[in-house]
Structure 1
């Protein structure tokens, strides 16, 4: 059964470049089904699939880009978070605003799947790029960074504070205020940031 799987997957991924948007849409539906039902076979091609989906999230046709984002969500929620990180993290240093926002959103989803220990171990791999993105001229990029940092902060609590020293006082205040608001909304208690 797996004999032809890679050939089929390769063909479907190539169709994502088709000029006809309805064909791109059908290809994405097929990839979603493959992701859900052929997990073992898909594992081997994770990196290629993620990169291709990231590219398609920039599609000019909203139905196609939304379907690509849905596909990406399936990957990020069901496949090995560390393999997903290995593709996403290097892409955090991109000039392309849309790709950057999508990658930071992916990172936020993956962060939630790690234990506190795993997350602490991964921080050095992506925090410098996140802090860099926090200085981006695009408000969308900055907003996405804030919410990613807030999620990390809520997960790690005070243990995350020393890492935030890379931010300027305005950025730090922004992250702290949002973290407390969201934490309050989710659990009824604010994060204790007192040192």
Structure 2
């Protein structure tokens, strides 16, 4: 099924911030990622099942930064006038055609350069949720080339064995989830998951 619309636009107004997440201005998505990039708000979502699998997505080949790299379940940016809470649920529906209760874990700043194409310079908030398995997912092909559920141990091996196949922010986030937040994730219960179709 493919009833999806294009949901990412070069002229999206992203929220520029300082290191403490204070708003400093706004810039289009394309300009915020040029050169070394401008620090802006972003978020990453990890969806788990009760049997310790996590949803990974392979980014669309049309993405200007890290195309066809494997990454976490869903990630994007709040837009001008939008809260984190509004943005994370909007993006789940747009990319995966589902929604779920999410728990905020932490925020971190990172900077990663993708050759001459541009950079990610983000203050990224990380959210996790647990969904019942199996979950019917209808991915947006303009955003996602492929997807798969993987046991956490297999994700560890993927990152170790194929470091050039995964996005840098995903690696940083996953390592912290595995070292600092295992108990939190294990304690999550599937709740609030709905099909947005």
Name the TM-score, length of structure 1 as normaliser.
0.26
Task: Name the one with the larger helix percent.
Answer: 1
Name the TM-score, length of structure 2 as normaliser. Answer: 0.26
Q: Relative contact order (C-alpha < 8 Å, sep 6+): which is higher?
A: 2
Higher strand share: 2
